Amino acid sequence: MQVTTKAIVLSSLKYGDTSLIVKVFTASDGLKSYLLKGVLTSKKGKLRPALFQPLTQLELVANHRNKGSLESIREAKLAHSYKTLHSEIVKNSIVLFLSEFLTICIQEEEKDQGLFSYLEYALIWLDENKKIANYPILFLVHLTNYLGFYPDMENTHFPYFDLQEGCFTNTPSLNPMMDGMALDGFRQFLGINFDGIIPIKLTKKTRQELLKKVLLYFELHLQGFRSPRSLAVLNAVFD
C-alpha cells in the first residue's frame, strides 16, 4: 500500500557499502524501518542521505506492506527545514541524545498522532530557541505523558517523590526516591510548557542529578529501557 505521511527520523544505519536502514516514526503508522538501497552512491535518485539525519522532519511517499519486514521509500522531502539543530554543537548533542532515547522508547508500529505532534512542536522549539540547558529534562518529563506514566501532580509539596509509584509522598519507602535539590528542581518542570524552562535556574550538579533521576524513572516504568550511551556526551557539552 502506498502511503504519504509526515515522519521523523530516529536513526540510520549503514547497510553494506551503498545502502541505509532507516528507523522512522511516522504520523500514519508509528514506527517503521526502511531499506534505502543504493542511496549512498546514487547521484540521480530521489533520496539523498542528508535527508536522514537524526530527528529530521520529512514528508514521505512510502510502500507499506505491514508484514514486519523492511519497507521502502519512493520519495522524501523536508517537511520542516531546521536552522540550527544540526549545525550548533550543543543542539546537535541534544539531538543525538534524544534520537537514541526515542529509538529505545518507541517500539510500537501503530499510529500515535498525539506523540507525533508533540515531537514536531518540541523539535521546532529547540531549533528556534537559545536558552536550552533545561530542555532535555522537560522533553523527557512531557514524553512520559504520551508513554502513560506522567507524574501524579497531587501533593507536590511533600518532601519525597516515589519514582516507583510516580507520586509525591510524605515519608520515604524502600522504593527509589527523589528528594532534596533534585526534587526542588523537578517540581519546577511539572505543568509548564517549553517557554517555562527559560527562567529556571539549576546548578550543573543539580541538573545532572535530576536528569539521572528522570532516566531512572523511565527505567522503572518502561520495559526494556536502558540509559542512552550518548548521555555522557550530553553531560559533557553542558559541563
- Average model confidence (pLDDT) for the chain? 94
- Answer yes or no: is pLDDT of 58 > 70: yes
- Answer yes or no: is pLDDT of 121 > 80: yes
Question: Taking residues 14-41, what's their average pLDDT?
Answer: 93
Q: In the chain, what are the domains?
A: 2-80 (2.40.50.140), 89-237 (1.20.1440.120)
Q: What is the pTM of this model?
A: 0.94
Q: Which three cell numbers stand for residue 150?
A: 506522567
Q: Which pLDDT band holds residue 180 (cuts at 50, 70, 90)?
A: very high
Q: What is the pLDDT of residue 177?
A: 98
- Answer yes or no: is pLDDT of 79 > 80: yes
CB-based burial of residue 239 (10 Å sphere; 0-12 exposed, 13-18 middle, 19+ buried)? exposed
Question: Taking residues 72-97, what's their average pLDDT?
Answer: 95
